[in-house]
Amino acid sequence: MSTKNGTKARKKKATEPKANGRPPIIATPEEFEYLADWFFACCEEDGAPLTITGLALFLGFADRQSLYDYHGRDGFSCIVKRSRLRVEHGYECRLGGSKPTGAIFALKNMGWADNRSVQLGGPDGEPLPAPSVVVYLPDHDRAVIPKAVRERMGVNGKPG
């Protein structure tokens, strides 16, 4: 294969790295861990809240997605998950405060959910029996209710 000026084009070997895109901001998982730990220490020292965007900015990323993308890189999965978990822990700790709505919102965006479970059956899922209701009325009230209604309600007997 030749180029426009007649010289032969050199084929790239499969072992040569591709020169696409810019070099990674953080080169190794150890560097990521060091910087993330530094971020968490700074937040603790300053009393600043732990946030994903704060972590992303501290690490030099332009957006949150760049932080999430490091999860797919070789060797980075565990440290990225651990860093995100530390941020979640910070929000979780704020749930006991006087105004937890911001923490609830953040945790819901991190995959948490409010679940309410209402059991409408017995312990093994069988339907509950209909409650039996017995109404006893004094004699003077029985006379006011028509006999057909009293029979349907089961109000014919006296308390016993």
Residue indicated by tokens 């309600």: 153
Dihedral, CA of residue 91, residue 93, residue 99 and residue 101, to nearest 10: 40
pTM, two decimal places: 0.57
**Domain boundaries in the chain?**
29-109, 133-160
Q: Mind listing the pLDDT tens digit for each residue in 71-125? A: 999 999 999 999 999 999 988 888 888 888 888 888 888 888 888 777 777 777 7
Cα 93 to Cα 12: distance, rounded to the nearest angstrom: 53
Encoded tokens for 137: 């009325």
| Maximum separation of any 2 CA atoms in the chain, in Å | 119
Q: Residue with structure tokens 């911001």?
A: 102
